[in-house]
Structure 1
Amino acid sequence: MPQDWSEKEVELTIADYFQMLNDELLGRSYNKSFRRKELLKLLNNRTESSIEFKHQNISAALASFGLPFIRGYKPRWNYQKVLLEKKISEFLKINFKDFEQGFKLFAETVPEMVKSKISFDAMVVAPPKIEEVAEPREIYKRRQIKINYLQREQENQELGKRGESLVLQYEKWKLNEIGFYNLSEKVELVSGYDDGAGFDILSKNPNGTDKYIEVKTTKLAKETPIYFSSNEYRFSIENEANYHLYRVFDLGKSPRFFTVKGGFDSFCRKEPVQYRGWF
């Protein structure tokens, strides 16, 4: 049976991860396989697969901090919370300035979209399991990060517009594919003129009824947490029979998305991240 990771091993793996993450955020090339082999020499009888798993745990911890993570290491939430989050906090307390530029670039940069013909059939994938959509939270712990860079990325207006444009095209294409050309012409981008509607796109079901679509877009993996307003949440509950979330991810040259139907409570776990006080 493998031994638990020691504090030193966790510290070394976190440092290695952040070096790769910084290279990725700044557009520099690096070799994951080479880095794993070099890290193996410093650890206690670990395997490459165990290092990869630990890197995925670090991705999950960073996502819980509101930080970007390495695209090739999708978040795995079952990690040593106390030790891993403690060591990441300690690392960032000392080294945050070295990575701040990369975090800002992540939130502010919008990638070029593919210019070749879009293949919608290849874009649609299965959603994550509900256990992987969001991380169950523990009691409040002080973090070293004041800015939620994942939320800031989602609030990037140009990034959001590109995700909405992709879904708008898809909805029209899907209706045309099944012969409902008149319904396709009625699909519209509501967020362009009403940002308080509680959804982004008004589409149509094949029977002619309204289909309400909320689009959330990221450059990262499909497991990346989403952020939604109380207005969006209430609207999804009140219209759950016709409410759909389209999660656009890997936005760039090979964007994909998954869809889920119903109110937010039916397809993800939620946690309060902001409150309003009354006097």
Structure 2
Amino acid sequence: MSIHKLKDPDAVKLALDEFVQLGRTAFLEKYGFGRAREYMLRDSLTGNLYDSKAIVGAAYGYAFPDEGPLSADVFSGGEATVERVLTDLGFEVVRVGQEWSRAEVEATVRDYLQMLSFESQHLPYSKSEHNARLRSLLKIRSKGAVELKHQNISAVLHQLGLPYIQGYKPRTNLQELLRRVVIEFISSNDGPMSTVLDNLESTTDPGEQLFTGVLVAPPVVEVLQPTPRNARLPRKYDYAARDERNRKLGHSGEAWVVGFEQNRLENEQRPDLATKIDWLSERLGDGTGYDILSFESSELARFIEVKTTNGGSLTPFVVSRNEKDFSDETGDAFCLYRVFHFASSPKLFILRGGLSSNLLLEPMDYRARLKAIRS
């Protein structure tokens, strides 16, 4: 029994079909192989990667059914054996497990920012198609590896307080080169990120006025690596500050929350309290430390501060000193309503109690005046 007897490419194709049908885990368990650490067979049409040694072992069984498939301990999966056999049969074998190069990282960042631009404009796009097209360039990267890199890019953008693709939840165990490339792209290419931010700011009306299913649990936040000191971006990229300055968006978000509260109290059989809701920021302006006075069904006051964004649930936001102090004074009666995805499909989570206990607060500005000169 020798893998060099394997001369039939159709036997390899049958093994590949079985791999796809069973899935990687089941296929490897069936034939008794571990996951490939270095050499993978690559489908030139789809870019999918397959464990080369396991494929050869299974293909041998298809080619020689009387002998059966080869077990993992019969042959090695290195360059001189499996790679040579598969290459001679017309298949492509690539070496994986290498650190991502700058060219690979740059291509992935470009692809990600293109998808982010589409998303900010509410334009349809296919993540799987982007993944496949990117893998046709990267050659040795699997679908899962590309997805993880996209999640890593989300983590960098989140650390910088910038919007990211909602389908790629931030994953922070990332390559330092990736962090540098993302920062370089944003700092040196003024167009893409500014366009994304402008697109997200452009729509200030809610995607819908229905309130069914809009209340969700607060997101679970992964521990972030410290942002490098040299990662300070121009002020125009401060998405939280942009949201705060966008008065029309803030006003629309507050109006939407008033409707949500009226609907909530009516569902709790307290239509009498729904009529007593007071939109203070509309009536008196900012400065009271909260936006809306609403009620619990027990008639206790609920002081609501609304923060609205067209970005995702983890988008940073600006909190004033007055809001912080008021929340600390009122305790559990204070509720921060974080409204997100406002322009597309509004969602809401609620943080109850003092802002200091719920949020990581970072100083942004200082009030400055000249120092007195001592004589």
2:172 is the alignment partner of 1:78 = yes
CA distance in 2, matches of 1:45, 1:31: 21
Q: Is the 8 A contact 2:265 2:297 kept in 1?
A: yes
Q: In the TM superposition, what is the alpha-carbon distance from 1:178 to its structure 2 partner?
A: 2.0
Q: Does structure 1 conserve the Cα–Cα contact (< 8 Å) formed by 2:159 and 2:224?
A: yes
- 1: distance between equivalents of 2:114 and 2:267? 46
SS for the counterpart of 1:259 is: strand
Aligned Cα root-mean-square deviation (Å)? 2.5
- Matched with 2:84 is none
What is aligned with 1:250? 341
TM-score, L = length of structure 1: 0.86
Q: Tell me, yes or no, if the aligned pair for 1:136 and 1:269 is still in contact at 8 Å.
A: no
Q: Report the number of matched residues.
A: 273
Deviates more, 1:224-233 or 1:51-60: 51-60
CA distance in 2, matches of 1:92, 1:39: 20
Equivalent position of 1:179 in the other structure: 269
Range with bigger deviation, 230-239 or 44-53: 44-53
Once the two structures are overlaid, the 10-residue window that deviates more, 62-71 or 29-38, is 62-71
Q: 1:142 to 1:127 in 2, by over 3 A?
A: closer
- In 2, Cα distance between equivalents of 1:168 and 1:135: 34
Q: In the superposition, relative to structure 1, how do residues 253 and 38 fare at CA in structure 2: closer, same or farther (>3 Å)? A: closer
The correspondence of residues 109-148 of structure 1 with structure 2, limited to 5 A, is 109-111=203-205, 113-114=207-208, 118=210, 120-129=211-220, 131-132=221-222, 135=224, 137-138=226-227, 140-147=229-236, 148=238
- Cα-to-partner distance string for 1:204-256 (whole Å, 9 max, x where unaligned): 12232211111111112212222211211111111122111111111134211
- The answer to whether 1:106 aligns with 2:200 is yes
Q: Matched residues in 1 for 2:245 and 2:263: separation?
A: 27
Give the number of the structure whose alpha-carbon radius of gyration is greater: 2
- Partner in structure 1 of residue 42 of structure 2: none
Q: Could you say which residue in structure 2 is the equivalent of 1:12?
A: 107
CA deviation after TM superposition for structure 1 residue 56, in Å? 2.4
1: distance between equivalents of 2:206 and 2:352?
29
Identity %: 36
Select the structure with the greater relative contact order (CA < 8 A; seq sep ≥ 6).
1
User: 1:127-276, aligned counterparts within 5 Å?
Assistant: 127-129=218-220, 131-132=221-222, 135=224, 137-138=226-227, 140-147=229-236, 148-192=238-282, 193-276=284-367
Structure 2 residue 152 is the aligned partner of structure 1 residue 57: yes
Question: In structure 2, the residue corresponding to 1:203 is in which secondary structure?
Answer: strand
* Of 26, 30, 36, the match for 2:125: 30
